[in-house]
Structure 1
């Protein structure tokens, strides 16, 4: 693209992404991770009606645990029993992150999708609609999955 084409593309205005909504991590041992995040770090584990409706069946099956930080960021732990460390030295850089999710005002969601398309960002999946809202998953330049999501649109 030429610089003129790039400057004419839509962008999200600073402040459109309101906060980190959740962080999803793959873990090899869900019980050990639950102990770490809940007991050692003291984060609140979501239970019962606190669990997002889209994850209830996975939580009940022992495949996911959800924790919340004091600022409201949710950490989803997804059990991957065959997960092997990429390096035997735990000080080596690697990630077990699944994706980073940003929250956006429902009124701006479609605009965000249009911005991604205009910038030819590679879409992993979506947009998807769920009872808990809408989301779109896409890749950053290094191949890490990012989500922009919103709560359901409230009708007066």
Structure 2
């Protein structure tokens, strides 16, 4: 067995690198770490995201096997302002804002339909509420 030390990075396929970069910068406050020809590495609250451009990519189908969504922890104090910002920037909200699993949650999509979530709770709180 390998001893995993942590999560290194998440790679997200996008159809247009510049559109995706602006979204992640303006919505998640992503900071640029590296920009290549077809990839961009971003730092989002200490998590590395790699956006990789796939030309002529097909949208993800909800019934497809693979990653369902990415959830980012936000403070309860900033949650409602974050939701307000999503609405102001005309980001598609697909669920919420609601209290679920011990915290506030809102799910939304990036320009390519990748699902993201802001969540104020912790894994411990979620499991305590679902036990």
TM-score over 0.5 (shorter chain):
no
User: Which TM-score band (shorter chain)?
Assistant: 0.3 to 0.5
Larger radius of gyration: 1
What TM-score do the two structures reach when normalised by structure 2?
Answer: 0.45
State the structure with bigger RCO (CA 8 A, min sep 6), 1 or 2: 1
What TM-score do the two structures reach when normalised by structure 1?
Answer: 0.38
